[in-house]
């Protein structure tokens, strides 16, 4: 009788082992536990499938970085989009007038008309006024923060090559011998705000348009 039971036990173990060979890690985890149950009469504790966890955890981590549904996209108010407007002025055609309080830059066209661009201007304490001329033009300019800015912001890079990540954006018009520029930006949602250290920032497509319309020597009136 004992020989019959022993034979049945070996047959059962062989069957489970055979199933484990084709079922992968799941079957192999059952094998030892099944023998333990036959020998001790105690159901085995389920084992963690570490391979399965290793394969699924990275995907779970990626979901944690996914954008939340319904996230609000930062947009530019329509009143700051480029448009041609009526603009009576004594300034000659080709001149640039910067209306700091209204956050508009006007390129005088003549005949009482002007091209109007939305701009970002200096933060409180950094706004200024005066008359300058365009002394230099640059495409995708490099950026070297001046010592005064580095003193306020020591975390800034000492130099940055021109490109899409550069805060000066796609074009720059340098104003006289000052530190001020009319330039693009890699943060277009800041147009219409008091955000800069005195420079006039524009959307990249707008500063590119202005860059093509004005030359070195252009008169710039900042109000």
Catalytic sites, residue numbers: 183, 199
121 forms bridges with which residues in the sheet?
Answer: 194
Which pair of tokens denotes residue 194?
Answer: 């008091």
- The residue behind tokens 């039971």 is 5
Which pair of tokens denotes residue 33?
Answer: 């536990």
- The residue behind tokens 């495409």 is 139
Distance CA 210, CA 223 (A): 19
Which pair of tokens denotes residue 66?
Answer: 């996914």
CA dihedral 160, 162, 168, 172 (to 10 degrees): 130
Residues 70-78: contacts with CB under 8 Å, at least 24 apart: 74/189, 75/189, 76/118, 76/188, 76/189, 76/191, 76/192, 76/203, 77/118, 77/192
DSSP tag of 198: S
Are the beta carbons of 120 and 145 closer than 8 angstroms? no
Residues with Cβ < 8 Å from 35, sequence gap 6 or more?
A: 13
């Amino acid at each position: 009788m004992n020989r019959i039971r022993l034979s049945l036990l070996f047959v059962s173990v062989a069957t489970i082992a055979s199933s484990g060979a084709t079922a992968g890690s799941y079957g192999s985890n059952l094998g030892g536990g099944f023998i333990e149950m036959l020998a001790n009469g105690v159901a085995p504790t389920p084992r963690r499938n570490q391979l399965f966890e290793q394969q699924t955890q990275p995907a779970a981590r990626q979901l944690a970085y996914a954008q939340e549904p319904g996230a609000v996209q930062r947009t530019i108010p329509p009143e700051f989009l480029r448009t041609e407007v009526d603009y009576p002025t004594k300034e000659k055609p080709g001149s640039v007038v910067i209306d700091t309080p209204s956050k508009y830059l006007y390129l005088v066209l003549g005949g009482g008309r002007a091209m109007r661009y939305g701009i970002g201007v200096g933060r409180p304490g950094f706004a200024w006024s005066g008359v300058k001329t365009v002394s230099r033009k640059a495409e995708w300019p490099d950026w070297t923060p001046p010592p005064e800015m580095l003193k306020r912001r020591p975390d800034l890079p000492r130099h940055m090559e021109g490109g899409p990540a550069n805060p000066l954006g796609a074009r720059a018009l340098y104003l006289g011998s000052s530190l001020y520029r009319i330039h693009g930006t890699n943060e277009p949602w800041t147009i219409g705000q008091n955000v800069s250290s005195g420079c006039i920032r524009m959307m990249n497509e707008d500063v590119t348009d202005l860059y093509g319309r004005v030359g070195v020597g252009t008169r710039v009136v900042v109000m």
